[in-house]
Structure 1
Amino acid sequence: MQTQIIGWVIGAFIIALIIASFQYIYNAKNRTKKNLFFAFLRFISVFALLLLLINPTFKKQTYFVEKPTLVVAIDNSSSIKHLDQVQPVSGWVGKLKENQELIDRFELKFYSFSNTLKDSLNLTFDGPQTNISSTLKSLDQVYKNTNAPTILITDGNQTYGRGYQFKSNTFKQHVYPVVVGDTTKLTDSKIQQLNVNRYAYLKNKFPVETILTYSGKEKIQTTFKVTSGERTVFTEPVSFSGENTSNVINFTLPANIAGVQKYKATLVPLDGEKNIVNNTKDFAVEVIDQKTNILLISDIVHPDLGAIKKSVESNERRSITIAKTNQIKELEDYQLVILYQPTSRFKTLYEKLESLKKNYLTITGSKTDWVFLNKIQNKYRHEITRQAENYLPRFNTNYSTFLLEDIGFREYPPLIGAFGNIIINTPHDVLLYRTIGNIPTEDPLWITLEGNGIRESVLFGEGLWRWRAQNYLDTKSFESFDDFFGKLIQYTASNKKKSRLNTISESFYYGNVSIKIKAEYFTKNYEFDRRGSLTITIKNKDTQATQTSPMLLKNNSYDAELSNLPAGDYEYIVSVTGENISRSGSFTILDYDVEQQLLNADVTKLTQLATHTDGKVFYMDQYESLITTLIKDPRYQAVQKSKENIVSLIDWKYLLAIIIAVLTLEWFMRKYNGLI
């Protein structure tokens, strides 16, 4: 308690003593023991009231025991069911939950995981994939400041994600893997991996690479073949031995029919082979009969040119040619022309684009001749200052021309553009706004516009290569940026009339991935409409079974995420409730379950995980040994901690009760003695 507060309390004591003495002793005619009792009661009530007004604070320290946390993470993927380990795993979890020794020693926390970590024990063993690396990363974030040994009940087979046995070097907790499944190495041949592009062009050949593996010691002969329907399109004999356990086969297949072409790769199973699911793998290729040809024109050398080329050609359905203005002869073969930092040498090119009604993308920057550009067209004008400025991007969430998502533009480096105001003289839609320093503006950085049968997009800044590089630093992939730029290219290159309802889906999906279909719905003024009620109806072409579900609004699109659909051919219809508008499409689901491709538990990786985290591997028949290890480990001790609270006297309810009781007693005693 502070010295000043102590002074106030002493003062309150003296004041209460003076008031009580003055009323019942100094003014009393006869000083009796009753007067002293009344004075005492008055002193208590006045002193207590003054204490409430002063409201001193006290420190209250409490002690408690904090037990270490024991994390139990259970593999909830379908591989557990495939390995026939559902009952053993469920039994293990039940025994851990009821073990009194663990309950007394640890704070138990249970999780389940497959492709993601879930804070629940709803064990269905139907997860489509397993990502142990992501599970460890999530647990590390949750328990980064605590002592939380982790029991990991899994077969160790990870179907996607970074190698968890190496990632475990940074995991701060001790991991005790419990190996689920058969650890005996059985003779098995399988298709380890099949690599093929999603797209091919009509009347061309597309490459296929297949990696075949064998676990066994004997020399064996088998056959690898690829079929399309009832027709065999490729076959090759394969031999393995104890020394030669893998085989890579590269071949090409013809693309003679447009559309989605389905194939089945088969490695003929060995006699007595236990797991033959991993001997077949379905794959598909979409054969297209046209390619988007893009022409990039620039008279300067700039890193943007390489970044644009890489981004455009990340999709095999597009190709790009880079040329200078004096090398251009014909434009008819191109669906889109990109004009990079135009100058007066682009004059003839602009005239050709106007006469041919060609769509084009204009990118301006520090080398752009704005005197020429303001003169050659009247859609937009830039103030002439001959100074450069750095512009940070800001995504326009109300952009409605076509479906785009913010890929993290706020974290992207600035583009270099000409300083000054921009005046747009034609209807347009702003994709990105300019931000100067920390000041957001309403000036456009990237726009799209459409008129007179021509689509145009204009970027008022150079430095796209920095954005693509930043995307890789953020996500370890160029995919987000390339997808964003690809959608912009697709819109600008297309002459298709704008529709109020558009759908986006893949032509085929593999059975182990999530199936997502998106739709964008606009008002009659072509503004994105968030009030729409969209439904999607899915129909299996073979069984004629249908299902209808609503599409959910997410950002600037309506999404439907479909699950539990069996392999087959499907068609869908997206419709808007209350409107006579609908769009249809189709897709194919290929039969593939990655969780069934593995026959044994991966003991090697789980052992590495335990070693790197200073833990220990256990097997399903070592329950008691695991419990003993955890209980006796001196690293997991309960810790006594203290907690200090600052308590105000006004929060002490008993003081108010004392005041009421003393005043009441004083009143009754005075009444009883005829003093009132």
Structure 2
Amino acid sequence: MKDTFIIFSLSAWWLGPSVLIILGLTYLMYAKKNPWSIALSKFLGSLRVLATLLLVLMLLNPLINRLNYITEKPIVALAIDNSTSLLSNNDSTALNDLIENLQDNLAQLNLETFLFDLKGTAQLPIVFEGQATNLNAQLDVVYEALESSNLSAIVLMSDGIYNQGLSPAYRKSIIPIYTLGLGDTLIKKDISITEIRANKVVYQGNRFPIEAYIDGSAYTGTKTVVRLLDGQEMISEQEVTLSAQLKVQFEAIADTDGLKRLRIEIPPEENEFSKTNNYKDIFIEVVEGKEKILIVAPAPHPDIRTLRSSLSQSKNYETELYIPRLNQTPPSGKYDVVIQHQAFTDNFPELTYNGTPAFLYILNETSDHKALRDETGIIIEQLEHQQNLITPTLNTSFSKFTLLNQSALMFQKYPTLNVPFGDYQLSNSTETLLYQQVGNLVLAKPLLSFFDDGSKKYGILFGNGIWTWRMQEMALSDAAKSFDEILLKSIQYLSIRSDKRKFTFTPITQSFQTGDLIRFASASYDALYDQIKDNKIVLTLFQENSQSSNFDFIGNNSNETFNIGTLPEGIYQYEATTEINSKTEVAKGTFTVANAKLELTTFTANHNVLKELSENSGGQFYLPNNIDQLTSHFEQSKVKSIIHPIQDFTRMIDMTWILALIIGLYCLEWFLRKYLGSY
């Protein structure tokens, strides 16, 4: 369907006089006696009137507004739980046939379908290889991808077993969610180590506890043994009686520094459904000592608790708080990093620090910008003490350290911060990690920046209230991974003394999960410490069994990460080499790949979760053999298409075919006049 309108940039009243003048001149031209008939004179006059009128219209340059109408079909999103737990009771070919059958049925109802797996949009055939199931996050992905579309319903195909994120059962949705219950709800005869709890980082020489949680409900009352092993050596063994929720405690000693791989295992019972969940590995990092972080503030603030909570996620840091009215004795120890909250305010405590710690300054609305300039060289030209409400956005070119991709997405969901409204001038040797964003507009103004000239290092956050960031992320994802990552990596960067190495090559995290892409960040520098590119990098990986693998990369001068794919569970040592100025530079380190075995914890489908989810959203629950009932429901619901108007504006002067028509009309008139004997 199309509607066409003409919009004049000049007054359309000019057409009236123009038409009269054109008619008058044409009449005078053809009123005299001609060697052809009156009817032919009228025809030739009509050609001239039409051509001249079109020419006048082009000079008035109106806009032609064509209104097209596009019909958008109702969309049904098929959210597929492609975790490995589904293969314990189903065949992947049969599951893909079921999905394809449902797609075909919905297509016959003139419904458009989109496929999603646990990671995002997908295509058939679905590969069931997910190592963890977060159904709540999967539904979030569907909403974000189709929020501006005619989304009529979501069909979630799952066994209802989720092992990450919040329970989807209590999710509220304005879009009805129909669930298709896969898997087997019969309880399997199985023993499973569901969880192991232990500190990820311990200190050399200390004894540390390890707790193993075991589900032995199918063998309640049966006696067995639980073992703790370090490699092939058994450290401890306990005889236990199996029950539904059994906790077994061990104690180990951190004898040598470095990464340590420990295993909890239970001998398999006869006729047990699966033996793959009878053991679970954990990786412990043994370190020599903690780094000390001092937090200084003139008064209490919610940010302070947030900072300490986030820093406590790493056992590498020991925090100390000093607020004058709460602490009688000023701090006197040696600190690696000092966080000054509400920095450069009039009542900020004056302290003398031992050594040369790095600083993280967090400003507030009353921070003295002159004191800031004197200390850091940063100039803020604030307009009449005005503040601006902004959200953070990640600088993807930041080179000091690397953040995970999902962090950039989470930053967009953070609440706003108050920052000074005005112009910012950063000192040399400063690089910005977070920029300010107002709405959809990214400003060239820093929110979080870092300075390092080789002798002095600091970070500066130009606003406070970051406690709302962590709280928001906890509400959205039941964890604060992105907030903790940016704070911990900022503190880690500040605590490391100036690195004068000409070649760095490090994994983006020290602990990966099976299925994760293993990525490394690298940087190479010449004699003047200018970053260089196009240097060949050779990476050698050494596994625990002494097997090695080699990878080749070409470096560049951007903050790019190098991807070597996925790796099996284990402790890996790596050695990266490159040639810089005819000299071989080497970078070494270790990292772990852990298998959480989340999909092996239970094999019994949980259809109750799916039923509650459907009931709370206005949908219904179905079994695979009732797929025709699901199709019939959509046929009877008569969901409607949406008609979208789309406007297309074209200037008449840009329509070359009209110019060609004008020329053609004039030429035809001229030719006929000459042919008929006019001179």
> Which amino acid in the other structure matches residue 195 of structure 2?
Q
Q: Say if 2:116 and 2:122, in contact at 8 Å, map to a contact too.
A: yes
Q: Secondary structure at the match of 1:173?
A: coil
> Which amino acid in the other structure matches residue 282 of structure 2?
F
User: Which of 377, 401, 404 matches 1:403?
Assistant: 401
Tell me how far 1:209 sits from its aligned partner.
2.6
Tell me how far 1:117 sits from its aligned partner.
0.9
Equivalent position of 2:97 in the other structure? 91
- Report how many aligned residue pairs link the two structures: 636
Residues 219-230 of structure 1 correspond to what in structure 2 (within 5 A)?
219-230=221-232
User: Which is worse superposed, 587-596 or 276-285?
Assistant: 587-596
Equivalent position of 1:621 in the other structure? 625
1:570 corresponds to 2:572? yes
Question: Aligned equivalents of 1:339 and 1:6: distance in 2?
Answer: 68
1:206 corresponds to 2:208? yes
Coordinate RMSD, CA, aligned: 5.0
Change (3 A) 1:137 1:204: same
Tell me how far 1:564 sits from its aligned partner.
2.6
Any unmatched runs of 5+ in structure 2? 1-5
Q: Say if 1:539 and 1:547, in contact at 8 Å, map to a contact too.
A: no
User: Which of 548, 558, 579 matches 2:551?
Assistant: 548
Equivalent position of 2:315 in the other structure? 316
Q: Say if 1:61 and 1:642, in contact at 8 Å, map to a contact too.
A: yes
Q: Say if 1:20 and 1:39, in contact at 8 Å, map to a contact too.
A: no
1:164 corresponds to 2:182? no
1:585 corresponds to 2:589? yes
Question: Aligned equivalents of 1:460 and 1:91: distance in 2?
Answer: 54
> Which amino acid in the other structure matches residue 269 of structure 2?
L
1:279 corresponds to 2:284? no
Percent of aligned positions that are identical: 18
Equivalent position of 1:181 in the other structure? 183
Residues 353-368 of structure 1 correspond to what in structure 2 (within 5 A)?
353=354, 357-359=355-357, 361=359
> Which amino acid in the other structure matches residue 255 of structure 2?
N
Question: Aligned equivalents of 1:491 and 1:535: distance in 2?
Answer: 25
Q: Say if 2:193 and 2:277, in contact at 8 Å, map to a contact too.
A: yes
Question: Aligned equivalents of 2:230 and 2:161: distance in 1?
Answer: 31
Question: Aligned equivalents of 2:444 and 2:207: distance in 1?
Answer: 51
Q: Say if 1:399 and 1:430, in contact at 8 Å, map to a contact too.
A: no
Question: Aligned equivalents of 2:470 and 2:7: distance in 1?
Answer: 57
Question: Aligned equivalents of 2:102 and 2:363: distance in 1?
Answer: 65
User: Which of 596, 599, 603 matches 1:595?
Assistant: 599
1:548-573 deviation digits (Å, cap 9, x = unpaired) = 1537879x633234433122332223
User: Which is worse superposed, 645-654 or 609-618?
Assistant: 645-654
User: Which is worse superposed, 259-268 or 588-597?
Assistant: 588-597
1:215-256 deviation digits (Å, cap 9, x = unpaired) = 548644433332222333333344356xxx222334432222
Q: Say if 2:260 and 2:283, in contact at 8 Å, map to a contact too.
A: yes
Q: Say if 1:189 and 1:213, in contact at 8 Å, map to a contact too.
A: yes
Q: Say if 1:19 and 1:43, in contact at 8 Å, map to a contact too.
A: no
Q: Secondary structure at the match of 2:162?
A: coil
Equivalent position of 1:109 in the other structure? 113
User: Which is worse superposed, 2-11 or 15-24?
Assistant: 2-11
Query: Normalization by structure 2: what TM-score?
Result: 0.76
Q: Say if 2:516 and 2:566, in contact at 8 Å, map to a contact too.
A: no
Tell me how far 1:283 sits from its aligned partner.
0.8
> Which amino acid in the other structure matches residue 190 of structure 1?
S
Q: Secondary structure at the match of 1:188?
A: coil
Q: Say if 2:107 and 2:113, in contact at 8 Å, map to a contact too.
A: no
User: Which is worse superposed, 318-327 or 187-196?
Assistant: 318-327
Question: Aligned equivalents of 1:87 and 1:108: distance in 2?
Answer: 23
Equivalent position of 2:3 in the other structure? none
Tell me how far 1:140 sits from its aligned partner.
1.9
1:75-129 deviation digits (Å, cap 9, x = unpaired) = 3333344444211112123334444xx3342232232312x21253352322333
Tell me how far 1:49 sits from its aligned partner.
3.1
Question: Aligned equivalents of 1:12 and 1:390: distance in 2?
Answer: 57
Question: Aligned equivalents of 2:647 and 2:359: distance in 1?
Answer: 65
Q: Say if 2:189 and 2:218, in contact at 8 Å, map to a contact too.
A: yes
Q: Say if 1:131 and 1:161, in contact at 8 Å, map to a contact too.
A: yes
Residues 316-395 of structure 1 correspond to what in structure 2 (within 5 A)?
316-322=315-321, 327=329, 331=333, 349=352, 353=354, 357-359=355-357, 361=359
Change (3 A) 1:628 1:585: same
Equivalent position of 2:466 in the other structure? 467
Tell me how far 1:69 sits from its aligned partner.
1.9
Residues 20-39 of structure 1 correspond to what in structure 2 (within 5 A)?
20-24=26-30, 26-28=31-33, 34-39=37-42
> Which amino acid in the other structure matches residue 231 of structure 2?
G
Change (3 A) 1:526 1:229: same
Question: Aligned equivalents of 1:148 and 1:254: distance in 2?
Answer: 57
Question: Aligned equivalents of 1:339 and 1:661: distance in 2?
Answer: 79
Query: Normalization by structure 1: what TM-score?
Result: 0.76
Tell me how far 1:531 sits from its aligned partner.
6.7
1:130 corresponds to 2:128? no
Question: Aligned equivalents of 1:320 and 1:308: distance in 2?
Answer: 9
Change (3 A) 1:499 1:268: same
Tell me how far 1:133 sits from its aligned partner.
1.6
Equivalent position of 2:616 in the other structure? 612
1:145-177 deviation digits (Å, cap 9, x = unpaired) = 52422222233333322222222x13x322222
Question: Aligned equivalents of 1:329 and 1:443: distance in 2?
Answer: 29
1:30-61 deviation digits (Å, cap 9, x = unpaired) = 7x6x2322322322332243134226778767
Equivalent position of 1:265 in the other structure? 264
